Amino acid sequence: MNFEYSEKSIALQEKLKLFIAKNIHPVQKEVEAFHYDPLNAWKKWPGLEALKDKAKKEGLWNLFLPKGYGALSPGLTNLEYAPLAEIMGRILWSSEVFNCSPPDTGNMEVLAKYGTPAQQDEWLRPLMNGEIRSAFLMTEPDVASSDATNIETAIVSEGDEYVITGKKWWSSGAMDPNCKIAIVMGKTDFEAPRHLQQSMILVPMDTAGLTIERPLSVYGYNDSPEGHAEILLDAVRVPKGNLLLSEGKGFEIAQGRLGPGRIHHCMRLIGMAQRSLELMTQRVSQRSPFGRTLDTYSSIRQEIALSRCEIEQ
């Protein structure tokens, strides 16, 4: 298999590295200090929009959308985008500067692939312009949601509306102060074949009956300001025009959405691991707790070598 990067991808990699070095590294400590302050929970760093404008002007914008989407796409394949995701992952919050943050990337791809022209005008274009953020609601607290066929949220047809009732958690992006729209996965037909029961539907975050009950955290880390929320859907009513594709297509949409997204996540985390390794090697050459630098100890060098091997595997 050929995993060589195209000239276009290589040029974008260099351009992206330069942008990050000039514009993001210098403010990294400022951004981290802002988000570590409890008073700033669920708030955006004030300088973010200026960086987004600069990235957009330099053509480093919506890089994730594959070339099959025509004018909406920068024309990259997933292979060409992968190293760009890795570079952005070195500073995780930087992906939003380039409008390449989850869950928006997956949600935009869903709208680009399955959305009607009206849905695209109302939600896709503001997302692609970086004007709003979005959430993805699939996982539920009462079932093993790693198998999406287990979900229990009901999407019931009533006249010219759907009524949505259920509970979601680990709802990515829902705590973001600029989150305006959610893609919700539920069941429209509990009696249909297993993989044809589910549908996906667009639910504006300010819809009556949608309640964010709490942000969730892992070992105290809450992923502010985007977060992962527990959400109650209590007889939420939306127009039938909000349904994506058609009834029974939810599992199909989920498979198409989650595949590329998992690759993006993995590449970003590889970037984070690589930067962590670089910081570690710098640290051991500077720290001298017992009269000699840590990098002179064979056990430390072995651990660093092992980490390098694990990143490459």
Residue 66: its pLDDT value, please? 83
Q: What is the pLDDT of residues 162-190, one digit of tens each?
A: 999 999 999 999 999 999 999 999 999 99
Residue 311: its pLDDT value, please? 92
Mean pLDDT of 27-36: 95
Distance CA 274, CA 279 (A): 9
> Tokens 């051991």 sit at which residue?
284
Q: What is the pLDDT of residues 81-123, one digit of tens each?
A: 999 999 999 998 999 999 999 999 999 999 999 999 999 999 9
Whether 300 has a pLDDT exceeding 70, the answer reads: yes
3.40.50.300, 2.40.110.10, 2.40.50.140, 3.40.50.1100: CATH of 133-250: 2.40.110.10
Whether 23 has a pLDDT exceeding 80, the answer reads: yes
Domain ranges of the chain: 7-100, 133-250
How high does pLDDT run on average in the chain?
95
pTM of the full predicted structure?
Answer: 0.92
Whether 197 has a pLDDT exceeding 80, the answer reads: yes
Whether 2 has a pLDDT exceeding 80, the answer reads: no
Residue 87: its pLDDT value, please? 98
Give the model's confidence band at 286: pLDDT under 50 very low, under 70 low, under 90 confident, else very high: very high
Mean pLDDT of 29-57: 95
Give the model's confidence band at 69: pLDDT under 50 very low, under 70 low, under 90 confident, else very high: confident
Residue 1: its pLDDT value, please? 57
Give the model's confidence band at 3: pLDDT under 50 very low, under 70 low, under 90 confident, else very high: confident
Whether 219 has a pLDDT exceeding 90, the answer reads: no
Residue 257: its pLDDT value, please? 85
Q: Which of 60, 55, 59, 61 is nearest to 23 (CA)?
A: 55
Q: pLDDT exceeding 70 applies to what percent of the chain?
A: 99
Residue 73: its pLDDT value, please? 83
Query: Is the separation of the CB atoms in 187 and 151 below 8 Å?
Result: yes
What would the CATH number be for the domain defined by 7-100? 1.10.540.10
Residue 181: its pLDDT value, please? 99
Mean pLDDT of 201-229: 95
Q: What is the pLDDT of residues 221-263, one digit of tens each?
A: 889 999 999 999 999 999 999 999 999 999 999 988 888 888 8
Q: pLDDT exceeding 90 applies to what percent of the chain?
A: 86
